[in-house]
Chains A and B, each alone.
Chain A
């Protein structure tokens, strides 16, 4: 990706002055190519070289931010086609559509559900973060009033959708500090909307006519006019074709570093399905395959919750396991006589073990030990779930003050540590629990 060390070297002064911290320009060029150095370190580099290097080393998909404050959505900046090749970086923003001809009660309902649909999971807050506000009658005052309601009541990042340059201008004027996404520049109004975005300092979406060629023409035009923060809507609303386009856009941006398609994309799921359930599957498709913003017609907890989980799963960094926080988790209201179980902090293990304990309805203390995100067997093999470490954890975590029965249940796969653990926990009994979490309810109920 980007220029090679040799290509960069040709643009440097080749004086080997050493002021950048490495002895030769070639070594510095190599460091630049691998991202280990910054160009600013070289005091003698020419303006021309600076510009060239900046363009060439720019991320293949433009990173940009929509909105401000806690709901700001960062999109773009992706570097791989498949998440296992490294990781996906910026999860797509979820947007709920409201329009100027929608009645107040309907808008209020969406705002209420938007604010309510927030879920904690593995220490993260999962929620939708955007509203798409759509002009359906060309009335700028009405549009701004609706945007104000949404902005005041939610603080959400906003997308302003209108065919009218006047409406977009009025709205951008009023709300430009909120960094809304202006939607969008078409073949009819690209110049005016591009200038507006530039003047307001807001990102802008180009809306193609259902082909990549139409999008390329628009993004080239805006780029030439100096607009940098661009998003792409190809205009296609057929699911199969949209899927094809998303794949081709991502490939062109990464494999060919084709600049006119090197922008994040926006998906109008609301215009691609018959009902909200189908919209959810459209959304899931483009969570996996390269959507950066997904607009839906409504927000309902039973729809947004599974989509939030999906987004979390797909955007989890495969190089770093998700972890649960070390500590004591009371499940089903345990008391001093309830059993104590211990497990590792690999998030999947935690979810499955706690889920099974919950399902058993047996009040239980679950102690989760930090094993750096390793599962029980791996942690045990790596010496991070040993008699000594589990013993230290049980002694220090505070569980001893909560229970009167001196017994700890360890995972079946860690049976080997029971002797050593008994030595660490004087006066305590160590019981070997089941190997598989699915057997926990039976195990707990039969005690």
Chain B
């Protein structure tokens, strides 16, 4: 007698949505089974890899391992973005770090102009990631939304405190809202409902569950994504059936262990490989949990995770 495996009953499906325009537009989501469970049903789109570009030169904050693959382009967001595409990025995330009122606090117009440069430099989809300051993000995202009309970019983070303003910008210029909530299923759902009430279509909505990096709360994000997947796929919670993006790069590379050099911490081995693995393991865990897009920094991570995804699909 052959073994009959126990069947998981699925009753829902993650919505499929498109970012970007033209030949390089990217479809995300669409799965009707848990992540990498193609033995049980449809997974039309492989998870996607986005790479990050900062709108300011990050050299002072980044370890050597992260700087060296981008030598010569870190001060030029457009050139940097093109380099990422060469490295295999299917999307670009522009982190508008210069806008942070606690840092450079660059005027919104200049920030938006840098974003526009990236959008014009590449033909892959772009997601703009703000600094989680409601007033400043609203200012920047309004300009970005207008200046990138027709590009179908993602705007992030859309939070409870600024969803009306940034949601409206998405609505007005037909962009995609990335709804960001602090590692909580119910808050994620509530924000999706609020955006829905505002008129943002569920075809234009991605969830950012907030990312904890390896060793720094990864398990919280991991479990929140698994819970969202269970609700979306097996409990017909249609307000949670949105694709998920996780900002892995930013969270893993800021940890202490990703920044210690081989000399400072010989017990932790090769600094570059260690940091790349911290990034790659975080990405793999969150992909297994159910993420549809991972934002990465290092080209070696992109290669490792890219190979991994193709083996698992």
Report whether over half of chain B's contact residues are helix, strand or loop; otherwise say mixed. helix
Chain B positions within 8 Å of A261 at CB level: 3
B223→A318 contact, CB < 8 A: yes
Chain A positions within 8 Å of B312 at CB level: 239-240, 243
A281→B304 contact, CB < 8 A: yes
Question: Of the 9-residue stretches A148-156, A308-316, A418-426, which lies at the interface with chain B?
Answer: A308-316
B227→A119 contact, CB < 8 A: no
Chain B positions within 8 Å of A252 at CB level: 3, 5-6
Cα(A247)–Cα(B288), bound, Å: 12
Interface bracket on B: 35 or more
- Ranked nearest first, the 10 interchain pairs of A and B with the lowest CB-CB distance are A302-B269, A301-B269, A302-B274, A309-B215, A84-B223, A313-B219, A248-B5, A355-B256, A306-B277, A302-B270
Within 8 A of A (CB), among B204-258: 212, 214-219, 222-223, 226-227, 230, 255-257
Select from chain B the residue with minimum beta-carbon distance to A301.
B269
Give the total number of A-B pairs whose CB atoms are below 8 A apart: 134
Chain A positions within 8 Å of B230 at CB level: 82
**Residue in A285, A303, A318 whose CB lies within 8 Å of B219:** A318
B304→A313 contact, CB < 8 A: no
Instruction: Judge if A325 is at the interface, Cβ distance under 8 Å.
Output: no
List 14 contacting pairs A-B, 8 Å CB cutoff, sorted by A.
A239-B311, A239-B312, A248-B6, A251-B6, A252-B3, A280-B277, A281-B304, A281-B305, A288-B285, A288-B289, A300-B270, A302-B269, A312-B215, A313-B218
Instruction: Judge if B307 is at the interface, Cβ distance under 8 Å.
Output: yes
B3→A303 contact, CB < 8 A: no
Instruction: Judge if A145 is at the interface, Cβ distance under 8 Å.
Output: no
Chain B positions within 8 Å of A288 at CB level: 222, 285, 288-289
**0 or 1 for each of A36-62: is its CB under 8 Å from B? (1 = yes):** 000000000000000000000000000
Cα(A48)–Cα(B20), bound, Å: 68
Instruction: Judge if B281 is at the interface, Cβ distance under 8 Å.
Output: yes
B219→A305 contact, CB < 8 A: no
A284→B3 contact, CB < 8 A: no
Which interface residue of B212, B255, B278, B285 has the most chain A CB atoms within 10 A? B285
**Residue in B217, B227, B267 whose CB lies within 8 Å of A301:** B267
Chain B positions within 8 Å of A176 at CB level: none
Chain A positions within 8 Å of B256 at CB level: 355, 358-359
Cα(A409)–Cα(B308), bound, Å: 46
Chain A positions within 8 Å of B36 at CB level: 240, 243
Instruction: Judge if B294 is at the interface, Cβ distance under 8 Å.
Output: no
Instruction: Judge if B197 is at the interface, Cβ distance under 8 Å.
Output: no
Chain A positions within 8 Å of B285 at CB level: 284, 288, 310, 313-314
Select from chain B the residue with minimum beta-carbon distance to A280.
B277
Min CB–CB distance A319 → chain B (angstroms): 11
Within 8 A of B (CB), among A61-110: 82-84
Instruction: Judge if A277 is at the interface, Cβ distance under 8 Å.
Output: yes
